[in-house]
Structure 1
Amino acid sequence: MIAITGANGQLGQLVVKSLTSKINASEIVALVRNKAQAAELDALGVTIREADYDDTASYVKALEGVEKVLLISSNAIGRRTAQHKNVIDAAKSVGVKQLVYTSLLKADTSPMLLSEEHKETEKLLAESGLATTILRNGWYIENYTDNLAASLEYGVLTGAANEGVISAATRQDYAEAAANVLTQTGHENKTYELAGDVGFTLEQLAEQASAVTGKPLAPRFIGQSDFASFLTQVGLPEGFAAMLADSEYRITQGWLEDNSKTLSKLLGRPTTALATVLKARFN
């Protein structure tokens, strides 16, 4: 059986759905904190089990009979390493054969603040004795397109990435790649740098969004600290805003650019183009 942590999240749900097209639903375990909120997963016919990242014992129980686990990184920034350790320890105790982890692009060398807990988790995995696969996911295209409506309303796309290239892909792309790794052999003890085939700058994003919607959209580049302030003004917590502003600044240094096309190789197809996502979102 294959278990997916955080299965009720945006990426988790897509992985579970992708898996159902490859293996029988009875072989899939969706791990969630609250079964009552997993109706969409339940409708797929998969097994639903409750497990909490903060509770190792809950994972020991939930992973009974499981051979492979996809550990989707927690969204509790600042507590993720401890939470991931709980899952790793539980997987070891019940004899899981392979643990796949969603990390961050270039996590081992990246100076991004977001990379720190991924580095720590990758170290825990290396020391675990388990067969592991590291999926170092780049940025989601949806990080930009999901919040683009407000920018289009005002005609301004504010950011700190300047002319840095963002090799983003869709959540669906990353989800399908994870499902492929989980259902294929030969991926044990490998690390994959995953990103979109064709990167884009914020200026190119603005141009394509304007072309698709017919609305003028101009990029407005500001400094890292000003961008952090901007994000807090639109409602993000101060700490998280600072972390995202740091990520935007690191884009200018190339830390979210990757030309390996490893993701498309795992998919067996090209990654989804930015224009395709924009058309689906706004047409």
Structure 2
Amino acid sequence: MAVAVTGATGQLGRLTIEKLKKLLPSGQIVALARSPDKAADLAVEARLFDYDRPATLAPALAGVDKLLLISSSEVGKRAAQHQAVIDAAKQAGVGEIVYTSLLHADRSPLSLAEEHRQTEDVLARSGIPHTILRNGWYAENYTGNLKAAIANSALIGAAGNGRISAAARADYAEAEAVVLAGQGHAGKTYELAGDTAWTLEDLAAEVSAQTGKQIPYRNLSESDYAEALAGMGLPQEMAAAVAGFDADAGQAALFEDGRQLSALIGRPTTPLADVVSAAL
């Protein structure tokens, strides 16, 4: 059985392949990447796979039984890129697709959700057996900003008291590996999220406890947060999008308590304290 992973040199792709190598022989794993040379350290077969060059797609999927389609990082181009991959998978005779979607994609207010909904619809019409892994927020989406929070003696955001069921990126990667290496997942949709939801105030308190410094959470309006992010160097459009995600989180868009992620990986998801410790 050959298993292939798109976006193999990205953060999630790399982690997934490392987890897969514990479950399958390396010879059964294929890394698909725009720059296969960057996958050399993964020690598995690497093939050229460029979403924007459809001619590269079907040949790279030759002999692949299961394909992990990690959603593209290019917001706005995702739906077309994913369509091209699914078409190529059909052409190449791929037996099963596993897709990383977004938590509650069918009803999420997040602006990111629409392209995921479109991709899920394409998969439903493709005739290819598939599994939808609706990934919640990565805890690293927030812990990546901790240095700035410590430097400015405050963590800022626009999520209010919204509870965020985030999990470590490695937790999601492990779930993807489990589904790829296992059987009986086709036809299922999993809502994946951390076991214990937390607020940005909880995150600030954890950072304060671990650093010994008072780092309060300062809640801003969506527009003020967008302005602050732009002031930190984030492009205007991205700053507005991130602030929007936070505002939606304040309305429970990133909350999920079904614990399907920990059920898949057979262990509790990584605690907030551990994620913060790793980030610091």
Q: Corresponding residue for 2:77?
A: 79
Q: Corresponding residue for 1:186?
A: 184
The amino acid across from 2:13 in the alignment is G
Deviations 1:79-121 (A, max 9, x none): 0000001100000001111100001000011111011111111
Q: Tell me whether 147-156 or 11-20 shows the greater mean CA deviation.
A: 147-156
CA distance in 2, matches of 1:76, 1:225: 24
Question: Does residue 91 of structure 2 align to residue 93 of structure 1?
Answer: yes
User: What is the deviation of 1:149?
Assistant: 1.0
User: What is the deviation of 1:150?
Assistant: 1.2
Are the counterparts in 2 of residues 70 and 100 from structure 1 also a CA contact under 8 Å?
Answer: yes
- Write out the 4+ residue segments of structure 1 that deviate beyond 6 Å after TM superposition: none
The amino acid across from 1:29 in the alignment is V
The amino acid across from 1:188 in the alignment is A
Deviations 1:111-148 (A, max 9, x none): 11011111111111111111010000000011111220
Q: Does the residue aligned with 1:259 lie in a helix, a strand or coil?
A: coil
Question: Does residue 66 of structure 2 align to residue 68 of structure 1?
Answer: yes
The amino acid across from 2:86 in the alignment is I
User: What is the deviation of 1:281?
Assistant: 2.7
CA distance in 2, matches of 1:14, 1:52: 20
Q: Corresponding residue for 2:158?
A: 160
User: What is the deviation of 1:39?
Assistant: 2.9
Return the TM-score normalized by structure 2: 0.98
The amino acid across from 2:98 in the alignment is V
Q: Unaligned regions of 5+ residues in structure 2, if any?
A: none
CA distance in 1, matches of 2:226, 2:276: 26
CA distance in 2, matches of 1:190, 1:53: 25
Q: Corresponding residue for 2:100?
A: 102
Question: Does residue 57 of structure 2 align to residue 56 of structure 1?
Answer: no
User: What is the deviation of 1:35?
Assistant: 2.0
Are the counterparts in 1 of residues 40 and 46 from structure 2 also a CA contact under 8 Å?
Answer: no
- Between Structure 1 and Structure 2, how many residues are aligned? 279
Question: Does residue 224 of structure 2 align to residue 223 of structure 1?
Answer: no
CA distance in 2, matches of 1:136, 1:188: 14
CA distance in 1, matches of 2:39, 2:235: 27
Q: Corresponding residue for 1:4?
A: 5
Are the counterparts in 2 of residues 55 and 86 from structure 1 also a CA contact under 8 Å?
Answer: no
The amino acid across from 2:197 in the alignment is G
**CA RMSD, aligned part only?**
0.9
Match of 1:248 among 246, 249, 260: 246
Q: Corresponding residue for 1:125?
A: 123
Return the TM-score normalized by structure 1: 0.97
User: What is the deviation of 1:69?
Assistant: 0.4
